[in-house]
Structure 1
């Protein structure tokens, strides 16, 4: 089949090089755009590398295979310091920020630029100076991170083979980081005139120096226009090699998590990070499995395009860690790996792994029509339902949708709407629950402070008064308890249904607020498992992510016809949503489950008789005979669910039935 270009929505495609571009690649040249920016090519079978790095030798489990460096390059950090700093970079204990250069005059700083004179733009009337300045402004303005900048060169002059520019002091760091970048076929050298390295980089500690170096690696490898982060052939990166990070396996294994942590710190929100980066290349890294790069799936889980070509994956088992990740993935490249020979049928399995995959190795595997049909609402009902989801008239569904919207936005109104003077609410904190092994969250001291005071964990609270004080009854008490909990944001039930698991079934014997049914009425028991984010009340920014389990007993009553009888909430550390993914369970279905009653009331029905009809027969017989539900059901079972015979049998044995066979009227 002919190779096709990547069809990713709302982004420029990653095109495989052809013709002259491919020829230049064979000669080892780097491909640049008209401004001299390095562009990222898709590696397809037979064309090994992406970007300007030479493919490393295949083999080994490390992220990269270290290559020899030129003589005379000094070690950036000592071995002990480097290990400690990489560890701290991965842990995020030092904030990443850009320093302001000092020693400028009048707010302007002068930089010198050399190496530009041999560029492809040298034939221009001014030797390429104006094109160089435009490229510098553009490249320095486009950066990773939430903050934007508009870098402008205030003054410029040419003296021999050196161009001098004057820029605002706050833009010096962005420009100095471009030292060594390729422009129009040549590498330019950018230095501050009369400035020290420390004043250029604004670095005050070794940890910040390492983070600044990693930030420079990321920015140099990021293509602002295509939204692609090129992390291919990291073992050939000159900055990483200068820092000697590949000398030992201990630092080699930490470099990628450190890069991902610096990437996270560059953005204010996850949404901005996901919008900025939609494609990543990990080609030519000698990867035999995902051990060293697994954190990519936590940092950039919404990737559209992923290139894993020309590594050392011998089978799909090497990629199992990402089988349930990257739900939005549209284009995956695996060409140039041994699995092409060891498992030639692997494409069929990979297509199953990624439900939104359109292209595999630049070949279309799904059409837009197929994806549209697959993602139709009927295929993903509210929300992902377990085999036990019984509802009547959409009562349970409407309650769940309304309740969590109210809990996130107006808890006082929610308490008044659903809770009455007989409604109970309690919550417990489970501090021992297993955490998501893939989570990047850090455990902090006092992380449960806002919950512990009123937590009704019966394993820890053994005194009866303490247990009673932690159970809240009535709308005011419940509302006050709601208010004391952190502000939350739950995943959207419509667009993020995979993060929820909901069970519901009819619950007989729910107290009747009107008192007309002494034995109670039918309600629902609803059990929900999911997650939420705590929100900072001052900024509205998302903070700690938690998992929760919540059980409701609801019955008739209240202003909307539904009231909460009981509400029990358990909060625990975030444990992930993998257990809720229907792809993990062959028995799950996207179709609504058949209604089920509690096991002790499940009747043995003859062929052709549905549970709904049987329930109506039990209710009608109960009305006409005043028998309890259980006795009415037993009577109908004995006569093979013949309603008329049931009435006749009742009439013949009525005098011999015990008192408990009848509903007792107060």
Structure 2
């Protein structure tokens, strides 16, 4: 990925903004390949050779009467798409030597430069017609020279100095963008600008001067019009007014990070959405708001998880990845959210729901065998589970205290909104609420004996395993890091269901994620008929929320998730592909290699990028 903008990291472009190589010779300049609109600026049919061949017609009528030797003045038109210093580097590159400009003046949009000799002037004239920064350069000799000063009808020297200063700032901002864009020009990291040496050299304060962001966005659009990812992380932003034109500059923006800023009111997001912008981010698929007061305050409220997502979707209905976690979008990119008569947007997937995803028949049979044995022991003899937990296994429990949201569950008596979950909460490891590192560490149960002791203290249960529709599971194979760095092949098993708590008769919904390793012949697990051992067990509990959400909905024709992927996996693959530039095949390989752990794949990508073949990228 790449560049992990969720963590505020930077992916720096390389080799940009240099007109010469280290030996002083002309060199290919990737920066100008973005500024120009045609490749002939690099020696193609329209480059210096062609200019020389046809140059006579361009300047044959230029009068040289009155030239007595010495410095020569040349006017330059069509340079306005770039900056003064970038143009000078370009001219050095194209002439193959230092042009050695002695003075620069301006009148309107024409630049007047003084070069040391007629030879250099003639070299420039041969370049007339060459493409630069999206325009065509026109050079002309000025004999006699155009005078500049207080008595001139054009700009005096003070005006020239002011223009040069503005051009200098623009050039510095271009250099800033070059160091912060990825190699493809699709991702830009604008995090921590106040600490950037280039920003400091300009004397700007991004926290107080919103104009610096506006200037950066204007220039970024000129240089990198294909940007789909931008990070404004760690900038201390309290208001987003300084980037209100983001959608106008980049209407196709897909990924946006506002991580670790000071946004305390969700209404600040309105200026980027249809609620307050004439150019909203209608294609936005990923948004990161981690570390902002508005997010943290919302999540701290009862039911905050649901209302937080809702407030984001009110403004950006196409978001499908929020804070690096998949969420269900309300609308497809480019389309408005569907709205019911009561004003609430309908949350719909763009494909029919399937009850389960199983990678293949073998893993499906294994999952069914394991689950039948596991729930039998969990309900009837938890101490017997010691045989199927690995010696170094890990177990964690998380309690979701938000009220039920499922329309089928809310009117039912068993939804029991006031069910007491305190017995579970005391060992809950809900990372959104448990901030203490000591509590996070102590709430993680490690080792077979400790796990059996922990789960034995939880209330007795009865899982309705005889009613298949009340359960749904997904199962697939993955490689995860093992002991001493050796990859371990495991089955990932994600099950959704419910159980009755005894003796209270409360019905509780749960999700459980197992990482299962093969049971070795002669092991305790194999001796009791289990095909695998548990190396990781994560249990999430919530008040009863029904089971209709995973029942397959009728469709004509039936449509499963494309490529055999679950909806969450599709979103992970899309997001990772956009961030890394990998093609579809290698995106899936990357995710599979890291056990479909999106954040891990994203953070590890920079380390493995250099080892991947060319064909791995789009």
TM-score by length of 1: 0.29
